[in-house]
Structure formats: structure tokens, C-alpha cells
């Protein structure tokens, strides 16, 4: 069965993806940065045999990214990029250091990690690369200009890399969530949340399992003819 490297496994969406793929028999290499408590909680919910390795690394720096690549002790047949953080605030107030951190975490780090593990996939003639992006990467969001920009870059990377490595049997796609019920959105007031849900055609917030199910489908051979796509998981909201 495939070994899957999951970057950002300790987050709400990352944890749901881990549990989904573990149930389906995949072997997991789990990455986290600071959230050790969440990682311990996740591990308590996974079969020990499903977890090959746990790697702690800071993907906002070249050093941390290289540490991750050098620390992984197993072959990698698939990568799921869930690592990321939002940045909320006016663009004019954004500090250069914040811009650099967002660029590295969402763009440069995925470049470096993909470049490191891609030769293994090319040699075997198969592989799966899946990004968790955001609908803001397509339509943009006020007060989230930096986040929208880097998610748009991820979408472009997915589309371009898919064309380059598709002939070699490697699948590259993205899952683009809309409003998902996670810690990232729990700062919203009840009225703000209700207003957003009122604009979602299916009349509810997305669940982390909705995203995990989409990743499961893209991991499965049934999705092999899907290439370079950005799959919206948004309940029709945009």
C-alpha cells in the first residue's frame, strides 16, 4: 500500500485526512510544527501500524524544509499538502516578514518538498500529489490578500506541474475548501457565521470530513483521469 506524506497533519483538516486514509489502509508519514498536543491526540485515534514516522519541522524556513526532506526514512508514493495558516488584515498593514513567511510556507516549501520527492515517483512511474488550497485562491478575498495570493500560486503550481509530470504517471490535483468548520474560522461572531451560511446553497458549513472524502477520492485509482484540477468543496459558495 502507498506511503503518504501528510504535511500539516495536526490541524483539523489534516487530522481528518489522516484518519480517512488510515482507515483505507494507507501508511502515513505525519508532519507537524508546533501543535504537539494535537498530534498526540491524533495518534491516539490512529492504528499504530498505520503510522510509519512522525516528523516535526518548521516549513516557514529553508532549514526546516530541508530537515523534513532529510528526516523522512521511507519511500514516498504520495504527498498531501495541508500545511498552512491564514493571514487576516489589510494589505497595506502587512509586514514584509509576514509576506515572506506566507510565501515560504505556502509556495517555496511545497516547491522544495515536491522537488525532493518527485524523482522517487518518476522512477516508479506513479504518484499522487494533492494540495489543500482555498476558494480564495481562485476568487480572492478582501482582508486576506496575502492568503489569497499564495493559494492562487498553489493552484497555478498544480495546473502546471500536472502537465509536466502527467506523461510519467503522476497525478497532481488540489482540493479547494470553502467555509469549513475548523479552528481557523471559530473567531467569527455568531452573526458573521450565520451570514456566511446563508450564502451557501447547501445551507451549512463544510465539515473536515467533506475535505477528507475528496482527498480519498483523488488518492484512489478511480480518479486517475483527473489531472491538474482544482476541486471545489464549498457547497456551491463562491
pLDDT tens digits along 30-59: 999 988 999 999 999 999 999 999 999 999
Average pLDDT taken over every residue of the chain: 93
Residue 105: the pLDDT is: 96
Please tell me what DSSP assigns to residue 171: E
Tens of pLDDT, residue by residue over 144-198, are 899 999 999 999 999 999 999 999 999 999 999 988 888 777 667 788 888 888 8
Going across the sheet that includes 27-32, the strands are: 51-56, 27-32, 3-7, 78-81, 127-132, 170-177, 230-233
* C-alpha grid cell, residue 106: 505556502
147 is catalytic: yes
Q: Within a 10 A sphere around the Cβ of 78, how many other Cβ atoms?
A: 24
Q: Work out the average pLDDT over 102-108.
A: 96
Catalytic residue among 26, 32, 81, 147: 147
Q: Work out the average pLDDT over 208-237.
A: 96
Strand partners, 232: 176
Q: Among 88-97, 107-116, 119-128, 227-236, which stretch is predicted with the lowest mean pLDDT?
A: 88-97
Angle between helices 12-23 and 208-219 (to 10 degrees): 50
Residue 136: the pLDDT is: 84
Burial of 180 (0-12, 13-18, 19+ CB in 10 A): buried
* C-alpha grid cell, residue 83: 500545511
Residue 3: the pLDDT is: 97
Q: Work out the average pLDDT over 211-226.
A: 97
Burial of 191 (0-12, 13-18, 19+ CB in 10 A): exposed
Q: How much of the chain exceeds pLDDT 90, in percent?
A: 79
Output 97 or 143, whichever has higher pLDDT.
Answer: 97
C-alpha dist (Å) from residue 213 to 32, 65, 175, 228: 21, 28, 10, 18
- Measure the CA–CA gap between 90 and 50, rounded to whole angstroms: 43
Is the CB of residue 155 less than 8 Å from the CB of residue 230? yes
Residue 192: the pLDDT is: 82
99 CA to centre of own chain: 19
- Measure the CA–CA gap between 217 and 69, rounded to whole angstroms: 26
Residue 188: the pLDDT is: 73
Residue 8: the pLDDT is: 96
- Which CATH architecture group holds 3-233? 3-Layer(aba) Sandwich (3.40)
Tens of pLDDT, residue by residue over 78-98, are 999 998 777 788 989 989 999
The C-alpha torsion from 117 through 84 and 210 to 14, rounded to 10°, is: 60
pLDDT tier at 1 (50, 70, 90 boundaries)? low
Amino acid at each position: 500500500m502507498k506511503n503518504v506524506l501528510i504535511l500539516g497533519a495536526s490541524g483539523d483538516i489534516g487530522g481528518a485526512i489522516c484518519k480517512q486514509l488510515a482507515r483505507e489502509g494507507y501508511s502515513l508519514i505525519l508532519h507537524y510544527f508546533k501543535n504537539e498536543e494535537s498530534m498526540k491526540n491524533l495518534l491516539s485515534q490512529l492504528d499504530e501500524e498505520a503510522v510509519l514516522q512522525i516528523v516535526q519541522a518548521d516549513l516557514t524556513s529553508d532549514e526546516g524544509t530541508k530537515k523534513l526532506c532529510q528526516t523522512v526514512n521511507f519511500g514516498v508514493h504520495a504527498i498531501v499538502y495541508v500545511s498552512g495558516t491564514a493571514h487576516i488584515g489589510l494589505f497595506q498593514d502587512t509586514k514584509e516578514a509576514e509576506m515572506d513567511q506566507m510565501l515560504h510556507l505556502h509556495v517555496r516549501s511545497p516547491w522544495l518538498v515536491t522537488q525532493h520527492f518527485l524523482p522517487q515517483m518518476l522512477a516508479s512511474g506513479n504518484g499522487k500529489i494533492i494540495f489543500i488550497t482555498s476558494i480564495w485562491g481562485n476568487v480572492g478575498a478582501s482582508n486576506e490578500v496575502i492568503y489569497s495570493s499564495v493559494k492562487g500560486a498553489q493552484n497555478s503550481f498544480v495546473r502546471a506541474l500536472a502537465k509536466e509530470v502527467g506523461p510519467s504517471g503522476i497525478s497532481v490535483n488540489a482540493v479547494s475548501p470553502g467555509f469549513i468548520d475548523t479552528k481557523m474560522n471559530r473567531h467569527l461572531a455568531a452573526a458573521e457565521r450565520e451570514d456566511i451560511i446563508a450564502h451557501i446553497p447547501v445551507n451549512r458549513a463544510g465539515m473536515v470530513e467533506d475535505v477528507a472524502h475528496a482527498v480519498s477520492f483523488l488518492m484512489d485509482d478511480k480518479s486517475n483521469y483527473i489531472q491538474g484540477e482544482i476541486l471545489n468543496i464549498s457547497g456551491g459558495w463562491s
